[in-house]
Amino acid sequence: MDRLKISGGKPLSGTIPISGAKNSALKLMAAALLTPEPVTLTNMPNLADTRFLSQLLSTLGVEVYWPKGDATCHLNAAELTSTIAPYEQVRKMRASFNVLGPLLARYGHATVSLPGGCAIGARPVDLHLKAFEAMGADLLVEQGYVKAAAIHGLKGAHIVFPFVSVGATEHAMLAATLANGETVLENAAREPEIADLADCLNSMGAKVSGAGTATITIEGVEKLHGTTHDVMADRIEAGTYAMVVAAAGGDVTLTNAPVAALSAVNHALRNAGIIVDADKDARTLRIQRNGSKLNAVNIDTAPHPGFPTDMQAQFMALMSLADGTSIIRENIFENRFMHAPELSRLGANISVRGHEAIVKGVDALKGAPVMATDLRASVSLVIAALAAQGETEVSRIYHLDRGFERLEQKLTAVGADVRRVSAEEE
């Protein structure tokens, strides 16, 4: 199993290009199931998760042309051979469950495995299923599968989510595009990836309005056509590299950065004493820290436009070096502080109390062997390792491969000492 060996303490300098957003690309790929015409996605991130979903789509009969290393993915769902998404594939990645809505909307039936548990909490799909029931679907959960049918097609509905859910909002949007009548989603998630999905659907002939606000309206249409769509840049990747520079020090410019989507992260970084020069027009984000001590900053994770839960672990790594004590509250997912014990192995002073983590800044971190527990936790260890004295070895980095494209190459290009080592090399 591959590991990363990182020698820290080196300030960074140069440019890092930001890839397409994983969280957007996955839903855009599922949208290709809604039309028999070709869908081309550009700026596609080459990740384990996007490749997993391409394999599932192929199993359903979608023609997928996506050469290794290419940023353009061609999808053609003209003639599907199956509407069954098996457990063996859905279990690899929760976002695979999002094929259910498009299959149900277009074909009137689908059988999709439940995604199962997750390292950062249960994250149930009950809101997804209630939305489909509101649109007239008959559902049966049996032997770990959701069997869904809407023989006469889905119908428009007024759906009020009891709490904000990105996944349920996106999934209901996908299904509602081909429903008969108008669907209104209230208390909808407002993440930028939802607006990106709406832009793609509208370019396919859908009638979606209000994406990016708490109320989204979808007027169902009879059919959708093909399109070419550019996947938005990854705000989580951009925020992560910003924190890499903030922790290690240096002067790095992030290009193709979704500047408008990073206001909460940039605000937290500025409060910590980091120089952040954001240029929306040029789509660049310049991060500078040259020897200054970090300020302790408290954060509460919240749905967009609040501080993203997917940046919480990275910010905790940064705050472990701050002057003073930070309180980090995780309000989205339970069990999302599993990185805290691993950061402590590097010398961080972190205590967890329910949904709060109290981080007392230390003068320096020191390299040690650590183990990744999930995607965002794994990159928090990379951030800490780049700021630490000596060498850190990060194991179980397959988590990193799920969400960060060419991580070692991008870091090495700005002067980081990062090396991937396989078991065969030892």
- The conformational region for residue 295 under phi > 0 = left, psi -120 to 50 = alpha, else beta, is beta
Q: What is the C-alpha to C-alpha distance for residues 14 and 323, in angstroms, rounded to an integer?
A: 27
Decide: residue 353, CB within 10 A, 0-12 exposed, 13-18 middle, 19+ buried: exposed
H or E element: which one contains 4? strand 3-7
The response to whether 234 counts as a known ligand-binding position is no
The response to whether 155 counts as a known ligand-binding position is no
Give me the catalytic one of 78, 118, 141, 160. Answer: 118
The response to whether 23 counts as a known ligand-binding position is yes
C-beta of residue 254 within 8 angstroms of C-beta of residue 302: no
Name which of 349, 346, 366, 345 is nearest 357 in CA terms.
349
Name which of 126, 135, 96, 290 is nearest 220 in CA terms.
135
Give first-to-last CA distance, the chain, whole Å: 11
CA quadruple 288, 294, 300, 301: dihedral sign = positive
The response to whether 102 counts as a known ligand-binding position is no
**Backbone dihedral angles phi then psi of residue 185, each to the nearest 5 degrees:** -105, 120
Q: Is 200 a catalytic residue?
A: no
* DSSP code for 211: B
The response to whether 138 counts as a known ligand-binding position is no
Q: Which residues contact 88 (CB under 8 A, 6 or more apart)?
A: none
Name which of 12, 73, 67 is nearest 38 in CA terms.
73
Q: What is the C-alpha to C-alpha distance for residues 154 and 353, in angstroms, rounded to an integer?
A: 45
Q: What is the C-alpha to C-alpha distance for residues 250 and 150, in angstroms, rounded to an integer?
A: 57
Give residue 399's Cα distance to chain centre.
12
The response to whether 126 counts as a known ligand-binding position is yes
Beta-carbon neighbour count of residue 128 at 10 Å? 22
The structure tokens 């394999």 sit at 55
- The conformational region for residue 228 under phi > 0 = left, psi -120 to 50 = alpha, else beta, is beta
The response to whether 125 counts as a known ligand-binding position is yes
Residue list, annotated binding site: 22-23, 94, 123-127, 310, 332
Kindly list the catalytic residues: 118
Binding site for phosphoenolpyruvate: residue ranges?
22-23
Annotated binding site for UDP-N-acetyl-alpha-D-glucosamine: 94, 123-127, 310, 332
